[in-house]
Amino acid sequence: MSKLIPAIRVKNFSFYYETQKIVEGVSMDIYQNQITAIIGSSGCGKSTFLKSLNRMNELEAEVNVEGRVEFYGQNIYERRVNLSRLRRQISMVFPKPNLFPMSVYDNVAYGVKLVGWHPKVELDAIVESAIKAAELWDELKNKLHKSALELSGGQQQRLCIARALAVKPKVLLMDEPCSGLDPIGSMQIENLIHNLRSELTIVIVTHNLQQVTRLSDFTAFFHSNENRITQMVEFGTTNKIFTNPLDSRTRDYIFARVG
Ligand SMILES: Nc1ncnc2c1ncn2[C@@H]1O[C@H](COP(=O)(O)OP(=O)(O)OP(=O)(O)O)[C@@H](O)[C@H]1O
């Protein structure tokens, strides 16, 4: 493996919704151009943690944090951080497609237009390149001006990825990106994630442990303790976590589910 460069360094990080502590004392590195999976029981705080990596949860609730999340050396929780810029650099894909009721083209162009004006020819090129990167161009090149909501579920989810890619993020956070898809739709997204890794750093939350072993380079196991506060129990290469976990709680979770 070539030298690993941390894109995000999480340092002794705790997260609260108002005063309710959800995640406690997480320290981990998320490496550039690697796929990192976050696994753990339902409700333990995986999505919360994922959204704390680009401060998305602040759109939903009042939050408090302790510790640091450094993105290429800068603590994203510093007061002077520009949140729109941060969320472009660390973009997010949600469990269900959340396209706008507008055309395929306008969905992909949306975030790009928010950043600033581009000549039409430039915008066309950005949209085409993002749709190609999401491996949808052949399917959609003749439907660019049709409503995005007419696409299949799998196409909609890949279009969400195209929309996220259009603003040229460095990191893509993916929360259960295949949850609503059939096996073929899931496999297309998995192939896409696999191919995107050469250009992007990816963090994925999923309950599908087979998917974790197929896709990810590193795995973090989160576990909620008796006080319903979640800690990261173990982090390592996916191979190590799935063949020889050190912690009995990781072992119990993985072997109970994989068999
Ligand atoms: N906006 C919010 N405000 C307050 N509490 C929240 C909010 N979102 C989630 N929570 C709480 O945070 C805890 C962790 O939820 P979260 O969705 O992060 O878990 P999860 O591990 O991703 O779950 P799942 O695997 O079922 O999707 C839960 O107790 C949940 O009720």
Q: Per the structure, how many domains does the chain have?
A: 1
Tell me the per-residue pLDDT of 219-249, one tens digit each, with 9 for 90 and over. 999 999 988 999 999 999 999 999 999 999 9
Q: Containing domain of residue 206, as a range?
A: 6-258
Say if 69 falls within a structural domain.
Answer: yes
Say if 232 falls within a structural domain.
Answer: yes
**218 CA distance to ligand 1 centroid (A)?**
23
User: What CATH code is carried by the domain that includes residue 15?
Assistant: 3.40.50.300
SS3 at position 133: helix
Check if 44 has its Cβ closer than 6 Å to any atom of ligand 1. Answer: yes
d(CA 93, CA 246): 31
Check if 22 has its Cβ closer than 6 Å to any atom of ligand 1. Answer: yes
Confidence band (pLDDT; 50, 70, 90) for 1?
A: low
Tell me the per-residue pLDDT of 17-68, one tens digit each, with 9 for 90 and over. 999 999 999 999 999 999 999 999 999 999 999 999 999 999 999 999 999 9
Say if 192 falls within a structural domain.
Answer: yes
> What strands lie across the sheet with 63-71, from one edge to the other?
74-75, 63-71, 6-17, 20-31, 230-237, 218-224, 35-40, 201-205, 171-175, 90-93
Say if 12 falls within a structural domain.
Answer: yes
Residue 139 has pLDDT above 60, yes or no: yes
Mean pLDDT across the stretch 122-149?
96
Mutation test of ligand 1: which of 48, 179, 228 has the most ligand atoms closer than 8 Å to its C-beta? 48
Check if 46 has its Cβ closer than 6 Å to any atom of ligand 1. Answer: yes
**159 CA distance to ligand 1 centroid (A)?**
26
Tell me the per-residue pLDDT of 119-134, one tens digit each, with 9 for 90 and over. 999 999 999 999 999 9
Residue 14 has pLDDT above 70, yes or no: yes
Locate the ligand 1 atom nearest the alpha carbon of residue 60 and give its number. Answer: 1
Say if 127 falls within a structural domain.
Answer: yes
List of E strands, 84-238: 90-93, 171-175, 201-205, 218-224, 230-237
Residues in contact with 32: Cβ distance below 8 Å, sequence separation at least 6, in sequence order: 4, 5, 6, 7, 201
Mutation test of ligand 1: which of 15, 18, 47, 232 has the most ligand atoms closer than 8 Å to its C-beta? 47
SS3 at position 99: coil
Say if 72 falls within a structural domain.
Answer: yes
- Residue ID of nearest Cα to ligand 1 atom 31: 43
Locate the ligand 1 atom nearest the alpha carbon of residue 40 and give its number. Answer: 21
Say if 40 falls within a structural domain.
Answer: yes
H-helix or E-strand spanning residue 15: strand 6-17
Amino acid, single-letter form, for residue 147: S
Q: How much is the pLDDT for 256? A: 83
Q: How much is the pLDDT for 241? A: 97
Residues in contact with 76: Cβ distance below 8 Å, sequence separation at least 6, in sequence order: 53, 54, 55, 69, 70, 86, 90
Say if 1 falls within a structural domain.
Answer: no
Q: With pLDDT > 70 as the criterion, what percentage of the chain qualifies?
A: 98
| Mean pLDDT for the chain overall | 95
